[in-house]
Structure 1
């Protein structure tokens, strides 16, 4: 056996070097070799798909020395602070927000062909620059930046990293100006924190409209000073006989404020003349016979109607719209108008002819479900189409004729983007009156060509409604919304040429770890190649 006595000069030098490196934190003696850092997320791996991507160069690495620099008014500084708040918990880095600085992450406003919500993201070894013409565009750029970082960045405790951002240039802007999601708070009531949680989830996918369904047969959810029993009595119930609830005016203002901080506009809906049992139960004088019905906790539709011939009905409509419009800085008031089966057609037309001008009187634009096209849509009104593939030809033709005559459309086909539909017969919660809607079916349609006879220019956008007959928790909302909400967002944002199921399902799969990190309870569809947990 060969024996060594002592060490050679060369060995001594090597050991000395290793000890110096170890002391500097570059090597742990006796430890396994460090794993190779994961490659950064490719620029084209995000949802919704961007307009164009030009990769190339050295990735930028967020480190303890990284700062967030802002170039613009106070609103840009607020967005920079929001970004820092997103990144600090998982990275553990200070990420100071300053008005000046070199390198790091720069947010800036400038003139350019970005549109109202578009942006440019450029990344390289020296830093990342987000550029837009408007604060909304910068905010959407921040959501893209989030998705380009590892999913662990969404966690609320310090994670290992590294935090790399792929190099190159990403140009992006939305296909449609209206990209919405609806939350039904009438069938089951959701608190302000629950609505805020949903707003944050919508913002990640560049949704810009939050449609709140504030009244229905089962509950009235917004305080109205001139008709106080609407909330105190009409709001004290829900499907299945729960306690219900309602938003005070301060609650509603807080939802509006929080949504605006995430660049979502709130669209309040008071459904009428049908879906009104909560109002009818609250005030006997709104009924033609002067007798208030009991509160309703079931799920059937089409049985209630305001009394079209009574003056009190229009006093009620005027007061509610006036107070709601005063609370809502956004452009729209949604009048519902669907499933008014207990209202004669002539009375329906008469009612809509009298109520639509009230919305204009208080400075707002009318939205109504597509049955509004069977009356006389006001100038500038939007009709929200919720039919299915099997909807009758006459009804579709009516909608198409209105679109050709100037009524713009929001598309919400129930057998595509109604998020309350079951995925399969075995999944729950959800309903299935419009069919079973798996992830592929929800994504596989083109809003620009969906309705025959409708000019592409008449389509204002896409909205994904979530009716709440079968859900009353945030986990229930999330299970129905995710992953289908991401597909609806892509249909509304990305160019039609970027809509490709085979590519989308892979990009969607990459969102799974992010949802896990965010604590989102989602459906792991077998149609999507999710990574192993």
Structure 2
């Protein structure tokens, strides 16, 4: 067995610089996720056509992956040698390394030595090398004659075993090529699980040979209401347009859809396996089955097949024909997917048809089931036994707790508004995968807070002790695609916030500012990979801007190679639009649209800016009360703050613009009005940033400052107001649609850094 290159003690002292108290230079070592241990050093290892690779046969797959990288950068593979030469990359099987994904990467000017016990560890180390390769290549990448790796000694392993991403191919379908690109993105950042959501009401995406109608009929649809939303939004944002490659005309009808044959899926599985990523299939039952029931109506309890009170009609758990169908389907799924896991779904089940079914009444009586929730548990437990007979473990969304959960089921926690679910499961001894909607549902439109929210996510609930915490397997982010109809839009929604989750789950160190510096290099790497990521936020303005005599628009560019283009006629900015001057003088009330563009033409968010000339708002003369705000609480579902009913159901006081924990029933909608005064310490232009889930509006002095109304996922909106020093009336109206709420108010003064509004600025009436 080849041994890693060793250095004398003196040489090591002269050569290396171990960073114990500070992080490695983020420009020289832009590694995401950050390694557990890194010792930096002077010098570089030069990789050129004269470099050879030494690898044992056990790492044949990893050698192939490394050669693919070398071909990308150098135009061809490197020679393979039996032993190291003057310039060598050496892969070493080291059985003293215990972790499945653990590796040791040593880079010196003479040699690169990558050691691990397993191919998985070697591959994780190769991806660390990949991130140290050069970026800033030209759009038509010229092959390099050589490039270098900075010297370092890296010892690395993951913190959590489950580091996952999810892709919903049921709502909108994605090509085989894109699924492989998705896998490449996961591999680059050391993610190891891909959860494929293969069926739903809107489409069935995997061939089941025993039930061909599932794909011949269930994989295709005429355009639905989700498609129409995407088409409408595509008028402003072309990335929202439906991919035409998945549109066909059949019998005079325009149909949307697609599916993977089992042969195609085997190819995808093999592609992922070569990159040490496990694909977990999800066939969602008993709910979310409209596509299947339309093809095979016998699956429902009655002839009704559509939408119930809240969700779609489920399959009937009270017919043996249903279980035969489910077992037939999952027999093919189990044979196709090597993963030890199958995801049953079992969420959002409309149980009305069960409650009205005489068949279900008989089954419930025969099995001593007291509720339809217990009937769902009966279905899940029976399916779990079948999964176990196939050597598989069942995963279900956290609704599988309702009605009782088996000791061996794996729970995937998503309902942020039910925080007790993962705690109960872990205390019960069930394994738990954390994927709370806030912040890990990546279908929520990102804003300037999204990366920070993901980076500061803590997978282990505080209520668990050290022993119970062992049941937390890790976490994943989910990409539901109801309103993600193109591959470009999917890229935008997951990148770069997936990089933040990767660091949380691999390293679990909090070094956010250093991470942001490292991330700056990754935008160019993602450009090289053809990823249409979300560009970093532009700063220096709000959506609604005010000025007194004259103003200026001075945009702070987060990346040096961005260009910013603008229009004033209401049209969408393109790379051919005028480039924004720095700064741009504002002398009149007007509207400006602007967007940033990367060097490859990747367009960032479109900012719709309004500029208004105003006078300073004078303070009121009435005397404010004690520190804090009054909060009026309103029971009910209000889709806009303008619809909140007249009379409050209760009232209380709060210290700031916050909704107290536990206010209202868990997961239920409500409205709230927080009112009082804001006492600003100096005259100036104040920018306010209101983050809401669901909706809210900020009023100061009776003027609307920030409108973030409507039911939506957490998003930040902003606006400005010119205030004289003193006391001004303040009102924040807020509505929660059910499912977990967020409310936060921040400010800046005359362009200063964003800060929370201080408690002592707020006064009660």
Please classify the TM superposition score into its range, dividing by the shorter chain length.
0.7 to 0.9
Question: Considering only CA atoms, is the larger Rg found in Structure 1 or Structure 2?
Answer: 2
User: Gaps (5+ residues) in structure 1?
Assistant: 1-38, 425-435
- Indicate yes or no: 2:467 matched with 1:446: no
1:90 is the counterpart of 2:73: yes
TM-score by length of 1: 0.83
1:153, 1:159 within 8 Å by CA — same for their partners in 2? no
Query: Greater strand share, 1 or 2?
Result: 2
How is 1:257-268 mapped onto 2 (pairs within 5 angstroms)?
Answer: 257-268=270-281
> For the Cα contact (< 8 Å) 1:177–1:461, is it kept in 2?
yes
Q: Work out whether 1:462 is the aligned partner of 2:475.
A: yes
Offset of 1:322 from its aligned partner?
A: 0.9
Q: CA deviation at 1:414?
A: 1.0
Q: CA, structure 1 residues 283+233, in 2 after alignment: closer, same or farther (shift >3 Å)?
A: same
Instruction: Please name the residue that 1:501 is paired with.
Output: 512
Question: Match for 1:473 among 476, 486, 494?
Answer: 486
1:65–1:97 Cα change, 3 Å: same
Cα 1:443/1:232, change in 2 over 3 Å: same
> CA shift at 1:450, angstroms?
5.7
Q: Which residue of 2 aligns with 1:80?
A: 63
**What residue in structure 2 maps to residue 360 of structure 1?**
388
Hey, what's the Cα distance between the residues in 1 that align with 2:196 and 2:218? 17
* Counterpart in the other structure of 2:118: 134
Shift of 1:321: 1.1
Check conservation: 1:510, 1:530, Cα contact below 8 A: no
Distance change in 2, residues 1:505/1:144 (3 Å): same
Match of 1:246 in 2: 259
How high is the TM-score relative to the length of structure 2? 0.58
* Equivalent of 1:512 in 523, 536, 556: 523
Cross-structure match for 1:430: none
Query: Does the alignment pair 1:108 with 2:92?
Result: yes
Offset of 1:387 from its aligned partner? Answer: 2.2
Of 444, 466, 475, 1:421 maps to 444
Q: Does 1:271 align with 2:284?
A: yes
1:458-511 deviation line (CA, Å, top 9, x unaligned): 1101111111111222211100010011111111111x3x22222211111221
Give the alignment of 1:105-504 within 5 angstroms. Answer: 105-152=89-136, 157-160=141-144, 163-237=147-221, 239-240=226-227, 242-290=255-303, 293=305, 302-342=311-351, 344-388=372-416, 391=417, 395-424=418-447, 438-449=450-461, 455-494=468-507, 496=508, 498-504=509-515
1:88 Cα deviation (Å)?
2.3
Structure 1 residues 124 and 386, CA, compared in 2 at 3 Å: closer, same or farther?
A: same
The alpha-carbon distance between structure 1 residues 62 and 450, as it changes in their structure 2 partners (threshold 3 A), is farther
Contact 2:194–2:279 (8 Å) recurs in 1: yes
1:69 maps onto 2:58 in alignment: no
Give 1 or 2: higher helix fraction.
1
Q: Residues 413 and 421 of structure 2 are in contact (CA less than 8 Å); yes or no, is this contact kept in structure 1?
A: no
CA drift at 1:70: 0.8
CA distance in 1, matches of 2:107, 2:60: 20
Equivalent residues of 1:267, 1:334 under 8 A apart: yes
Find the residue that maps to 2:55 and give its secondary structure: strand
**1:50 lines up with 2:61 in the alignment:** no
Contact (CA 8 Å) 2:198, 2:204: kept in 1 or not? yes
Cα distance in structure 1, aligned partners of 2:30 and 2:163: 21
RMSD: 2.5
CA contact (8 A) 2:158 2:505 kept: yes
Provide the aligned length of Structure 1 versus Structure 2. Answer: 470
Deviation at 1:141, TM superposition (A): 0.5
Q: CA deviation at 1:255?
A: 1.2
Cα distance between partner residues in 2 of 1:253 and 1:174: 28
**Counterpart of 2:415 in 1: which secondary structure?**
coil
